[in-house]
Amino acid sequence: MTYKRRDFLATTGLGCAGLLMPAFSFGQRSTTLLNELKIPPLLEGSMESGKKHYALTLQTGNSQFYPDLVTPTIGINGSYLGPTLRFKRDDNVVMQVENTLGEPTTLHWHGMHVPAKADGGPWQIIEHGASWDPEFKIMQKAATLWYHSHLMGKTGEQVYKGLAGMIIIDDEDSGTLGLPSEYGVDDIPIIVQDRRFNEDGSFNYVTSQMDIMTGLFGDTILVNGTLNAVFTPSTSKVRFRLLNAANARTFTFAFDDGRNFQQIASDGGLLEQPLELQMLELAPSERAEIVVDFGDGNPAKLISLAMADSSPNAATGMMSRMHPMNTQRLDLLSIQPNNSLQASPAIAGVLTSIQRRQESDSVRTRRFTLSMVMGMGMMGRKGNNSRGRGGMARGGGNFFINNQAMDMGIVNHQVNLGDTEIWEIFNDSMMMHPFHIHLDQFQILDRNGNSPAANEMGYKDSVKVGPGQTVRIIVRFDNFSDAESPYMYHCHILEHEDDGMMGQFIVV
């Protein structure tokens, strides 16, 4: 089966979006070959005096996504992205992070329950040439998490260039449920990102106010840093650990032949039962584990479905053709099963039990209103190739939580150790924002008063809040207090986060 670029362009309608961008429309590069899906190496730590040590070097490098082009990138122990960190519940770990990037950065463990000083947020800066060695105990259940740069104002750019990787946590139970669990064989990380390339092969990052307003959308898909990726199953069932590591794009995962799959986990770990689905929407930073049956031996494609235009302009009809969002069907991964497949065991009918938190456990409700500046002034500001970040984009930003843009000098909230609270998030803007909180895996109570879909009934650390919606979540502040070190909460569209849609809380 050969992959035809022309077909791809025809189905995605990239032509019109590409014309207005300084980056080339990637149809100009004909790459008809499929590339074997790269699997990030596993890093399982080395035991030293009762603690597992993980050595991570942040480095610059060159990557070859296209056969004839070199792309300057950054990565962890490699040139793009990082190894998959594997932790076991109850392990004590030491992360040894060394920064050789030539610029400051931070490394945040997204979704992990760790002390604020070990969290890797904007306060834990690692200067070039320095190292950072946080220690923590793995206290949570089996889950798929991730790690990425969280430098104030530069998270979007550093993650875009490659500073991210996957984390897998195992626990006692997760190995006994009949779930595919051989890493790289039938347990496969799927880190999905969209990118834009310049003629010379370099990544094209923010070039206009529009890129900041919608967040950065790329026209080229990378999976684990692989362009035009193909995966060859050797077992009848495969578990995909889906991570939306895009800066801004929401993916609606499905298969081109409409086959069903089972969702077994959300952001924070296993769901109570496998859930049969045909499509699954993940906003930036959300994860899901799915199990797919390829026993029929037929090839298939993992795709992202075209959805209704979700750009802020779509509502008014203005310029909606210039920067439509999530309207393209995208091919993510070709799947070509082996001729003979090893039979996989049946998956347990019950995966775990999740105690639903009660509203009555909450001692307080806090309200968070998300908003963005959306005037003609912003839209009229055309890209000038100078990153477009001058003028109104700086000194406070265009994005707010409770009318306040992120300010390192302001601790927005103080919570009490051990408290359970309801956080009510209201989206007062025209586009969806994925709201993420550090420290705890929370539960979703309701969205506009309606209980969440079955696959949102498990543990979450990011939640989609659509335009005009109010989402209530119930969150706990257990185990770690530190009056000096704040945790973050923010929109996980990285350009929004970098431009102000973030706040800080301390636990005392």
Cβ-in-10-Å burial (0-12, 13-18, 19+) of 299 comes to: middle
Instruction: Give the count of residues interacting with ligand C2O (CB under 6 A).
Output: 10
Kindly tell me which of 37 and 116 has the beta carbon lying closer to Cu ion.
116
Q: Which does 150 bind (CB under 5 to 8 A by kind): ligand C2O, Cu ion, none?
A: ligand C2O
Residue whose C-alpha is closest to residue 110's, from 436, 484, 422, 455? 436
x-or-dash string of contact with Cu ion, 102-131, rule CB under 5 A: --------x---------------------
Kindly tell me which of 323 and 492 has the beta carbon lying closer to ligand C2O.
492
Instruction: Round to whole Å and give the CA distance between 293 and 237.
Output: 5
Cβ-in-10-Å burial (0-12, 13-18, 19+) of 172 comes to: exposed
Per DSSP bridges, beta strands 261-266 and 269-277 are antiparallel
Residues 89-148 that bind ligand C2O (CB under 6 A): 108, 110, 148
Residue whose C-alpha is closest to residue 312's, from 192, 403, 212? 212
Residue whose C-alpha is closest to residue 223's, from 35, 492, 13, 68? 35
Residue 192 contacts ligand C2O per CB under 6 A: no
Kindly tell me which of 110 and 154 has the beta carbon lying closer to Cu ion.
110
Kindly tell me which of 237 and 438 has the beta carbon lying closer to ligand C2O.
438
Task: Using alpha carbons, list the distances in angstroms from residue 452 to 238, 359, 390, 433, 456.
Answer: 27, 15, 40, 17, 6
Q: Which does 323 bind (CB under 5 to 8 A by kind): Cu ion, ligand C2O, none?
A: none
Q: List the strands of the sheet with 413-415, edge to edge.
A: 413-415, 502-507, 487-491, 433-437, 462-465
Structure tokens that stand for 376 in this block: 């003609």
Q: Which does 351 bind (CB under 5 to 8 A by kind): ligand C2O, Cu ion, none?
A: none
Q: List the strands of the sheet with 187-195, edge to edge.
A: 226-227, 220-223, 187-195, 237-244, 287-293, 261-266, 269-277
154, 460, 490, 496: residue in contact with ligand C2O (rule CB under 6 A): 490
Q: Which does 196 bind (CB under 5 to 8 A by kind): Cu ion, ligand C2O, none?
A: none
226, 285, 443, 485: residue in contact with ligand C2O (rule CB under 6 A): 285
Structure tokens that stand for 225 in this block: 């840093």
Residues 286-325 that bind ligand C2O (CB under 6 A): none
Q: What are phi and psi of 18, to 5 degrees?
A: -65, -35
In contact, 243 and 144? CB cutoff 8 Å: yes
State in angstroms the smallest separation of the CB of 465 from ligand C2O: 16
Kindly tell me which of 26 and 487 has the beta carbon lying closer to ligand C2O.
487
Task: Considering only the stretches 79-87, 289-297, 398-406, 484-492, report the one whose residues sit in contact with ligand C2O under the rule CB under 6 A.
Answer: 484-492
493, 494, 502, 507: residue in contact with Cu ion (rule CB under 5 A): 493
Per-residue three-class SS string for 101-143: CCCCECCEEECCCCCHHHCCCCCCCECCCCEECCEEECCCCCE
Residue 491 contacts Cu ion per CB under 5 A: yes
Q: Which does 195 bind (CB under 5 to 8 A by kind): Cu ion, ligand C2O, none?
A: none
Task: DSSP letter for 184, please.
Answer: T
x-or-dash string of contact with Cu ion, 359-388, rule CB under 5 A: ------------------------------
State in angstroms the smallest separation of the CB of 337 from ligand C2O: 34
State in angstroms the smallest separation of the CB of 231 from Cu ion: 28
Kindly tell me which of 213 and 439 has the beta carbon lying closer to ligand C2O.
439
Q: Which does 433 bind (CB under 5 to 8 A by kind): Cu ion, ligand C2O, none?
A: Cu ion
Residue whose C-alpha is closest to residue 469's, from 416, 433, 444, 417? 433
438, 460, 464, 496: residue in contact with ligand C2O (rule CB under 6 A): 438
Q: Which does 154 bind (CB under 5 to 8 A by kind): ligand C2O, Cu ion, none?
A: none
Residues 400-419 that bind ligand C2O (CB under 6 A): none
Task: Considering only the stretches 154-162, 186-194, 409-417, 433-441, report the one whose residues sit in contact with Cu ion under the rule CB under 5 A.
Answer: 433-441
Close Cβ partners of 227 (under 8 Å, ≥ 6 residues apart): 31, 35, 65, 66, 220, 221
Task: Considering only the stretches 79-87, 166-174, 402-410, 486-494, report the one whose residues sit in contact with ligand C2O under the rule CB under 6 A.
Answer: 486-494
Cβ-in-10-Å burial (0-12, 13-18, 19+) of 216 comes to: buried
In the complex, residue closest to ligand C2O by CB: 110
Q: Which does 141 bind (CB under 5 to 8 A by kind): ligand C2O, Cu ion, none?
A: none
Per-residue three-class SS string for 158-181: HHHHCCEEEEEEECCCHHHCCCCC
Count how many residues are written for the chain: 508
Kindly tell me which of 219 and 281 has the beta carbon lying closer to ligand C2O.
281
Task: Considering only the stretches 5-13, 260-268, 361-369, 425-433, report the one whose residues sit in contact with Cu ion under the rule CB under 5 A.
Answer: 425-433
Residue 150 contacts ligand C2O per CB under 6 A: yes
Instruction: Give the count of residues interacting with Cu ion (CB under 5 A).
Output: 6
Residues that bind ligand C2O (CB under 6 A): 108, 110, 148, 150, 285, 436, 438, 488, 490, 492
Residues that bind Cu ion (CB under 5 A): 110, 433, 438, 491, 493, 496
